[in-house]
Structure 1
Amino acid sequence: MATLTLPCAHRSGATLTMREPAILDVRHTPPTSRAVYAAAHVVADPLRASAENCADQIDWDGTLQLRRNLWSLGLGVAESMDTAQRGMGLDWAAAKELAARTLADARSVGGRVVVGVATDQLKSEAPSLAEIRDAYLEQVDAIESSGGEVVLMASRQLARAATRPDDYVAVYDAVLSSATRPVVLHWLGSVFDPALDGYWGFADPREAMGTVLGIMTAHRKTVRGIKVSLLDPALEIALRRRMPEGVRVFTGDDYNYVDLIAGDGTHASDALLGAFAAIGPFASAAFARLDVGDEQGFRNILAPTESLSRLLFAAPTQFYKVGVAWLAYLNGKQDHFRMIGGFESGRSLTHLGDLVRAADSVGLFEDPEFTAARAAAYFAVHGLG
């Protein structure tokens, strides 16, 4: 039985006796009850990863293997989004190459993909609305030309430039009118990215709901859905009830996904979650139960993972991707724990230890002896052996 000493406050240690891995009946084909995407992270090249923030820090083979793992579980991949450090080390040039490689790989195995697009190629501190519109159009065209469908990510530049709700309407109208494939919008709250505070032109998201609903209604033939990442389940439920017919809500609520996906008997959310990159086998097995109408079985499998997800996404929430990479490393999905731009420094050693406990409590680790050895070696290097 594997044991491991984990860091605690004040440099003390606590011994963890690790449990056996969870026994999960995973599915290898996409769920039929919901549309499901996991927002996958990128694997850095450990020899080049540094705070220099260079664009050539990606280990392409390791990164694509993570995506194949998700496809093998029947999950779709949400590419080039914030889980992949988009805007936090991954620039547009690297994101475009990542998307192209992922789309090509997906075609070879029949994997499902949506790709995040934004306006992050803009260099000006104060771009005009026209420049922001054109930046969106450039990225949409690049992904659609590669055969992909896009998630129209919230734009930091637009949040700075817009002075009223109509500014958002004008930019989104132009972009959606030009799209040739179905588009998913993205409503990312300031808890994930403080630069997006007041998106859609209102400080209160409930007031903003009318603006985004108007955009989706006007473009209901193009808009496939909207990813909602506000960590406010009541608002997401209210939005679901007002959605144009045929347009879907994809939950990005990594705190409350079980109830939101299960639904209320009338409305339910689909899923586009960073958490699913960390708990892919649990998601696969849970949706297999939901597909046959076994909601309680779905809940029994997935509900215990919410406490782990909440720890992953603890404030400051933008560092959640550190935990996703850490768990992938401990589960043997990548060979090291280095991140683009030195991003792994965004979480403390005690937080990493807490993640080990939480992940072990649900049986996430496929080989506890292997995981214990990796974690012990990492903590020992930092003087905690």
Structure 2
Amino acid sequence: MTSALSEPTYRRLFAAQVVALLGTGLLTVALSLLAFDVAPTRAGEVLATAFTVKMVAYVAVAPLVTAVTSRWNPRAVMVGADAVRFAVALALPWVDQAWHVYVLIAVLQSASATFTPTFQAVIPVVLTSERQYTHGLSLSRLAYDLEAVLSPMIAAGLLLVMSYHGLFVGTASGFVLSAVLVLRSGLSAPGAPSGALFWSRATAGVAMFRSRRSLRTLFLLDLAAACAVATVLVGTVVVVREDLGRGPASVAVALAAFGAGSMVVALMTPRWLEHHTDLTSMLVGGGLCALLLIVAVPVVGDRGSWPVLLVVWCALGAASSMVLTPSGRIVNAAVSVAERPAAFAAHFSLSHACYLVAYPVAGWLGGLTSVAAATGVLGAAAALATGAAIVIRPR
């Protein structure tokens, strides 16, 4: 995977991605604690709504904004997106109403929905060989997993010496450094021709997902993984702070346990896939997501304990990573080179649409009933999705 880093432009762009991800990870922890302060009795609902707003931006705003900016220089687009995210991160500590959180998160995630597709589009321009491009994709996936582990750990350390408001400053710093690295990357890729609109590519990609069995199977397994991720991201702060009565740093530790499980599987996946097919790995991961969510029901209920929660959260991270890590290979194998941009664009939107369903169930149902009830419903949904994937998978 290190061969891609020998290209100076990619090395700086990858570094920009890493620091922006670390900033976003600090934001996730800070946002959980902010939700608890703004609405102590409705923290799960506030957090679920904020994450739902994020997914709406990813699913709906990304195609529209990318269509507008497709003719612009991608370096200017990414720097502009970082500037918007920096401003929002500095504004978040001053809010005292839930709707303030929703508005600012909508703006911040719209900027992220602009940055991410632009970043993904320039990587094959920078890494022209297939081998380097594959390594670049692998590094990007590992960066997401490392962020899930390191950001909560860094947040836990910072929370020992400062209030959670300081985490927003760390988030803003990450976006500033990301913008500087993009500016210094030397990227000179021109904008896309005026006819190459993201929305048209996304529409063509959705048709591929409807008509091709392997892609329909991938969508169902993405839904199973989304149920696991939503349970952890939405429910952790409620279970740790309210049910277990632990401090803010414990929220970060629990999220780090989830990220650690994901990272271990991501590191093991290349060797695992030498002996097993992509779909086999993903189906096992989907089944484990469902099973572990059912197991988690008493853990997040009256019979929960801190050590058991960490073990289950780590296992859920591993199970979700078994689904998410090989997903790009499924898309790549199902389409031709010419179809690849549209297919990956559709996967970006459709996979995030799964979270648009899972986050409200985790937060709003959890607020109306209990975290345990929401976890049980999501476990059942993951089981149904995985079962359907087994039935329709390619033979």
TM-score (normalizing by structure 1): 0.30
Greater relative contact order structure (CA < 8 Å, 6+ sep) = 2
Greater helix percent: which structure?
Answer: 2
TM-score scaled to structure 2, two decimals?
A: 0.29
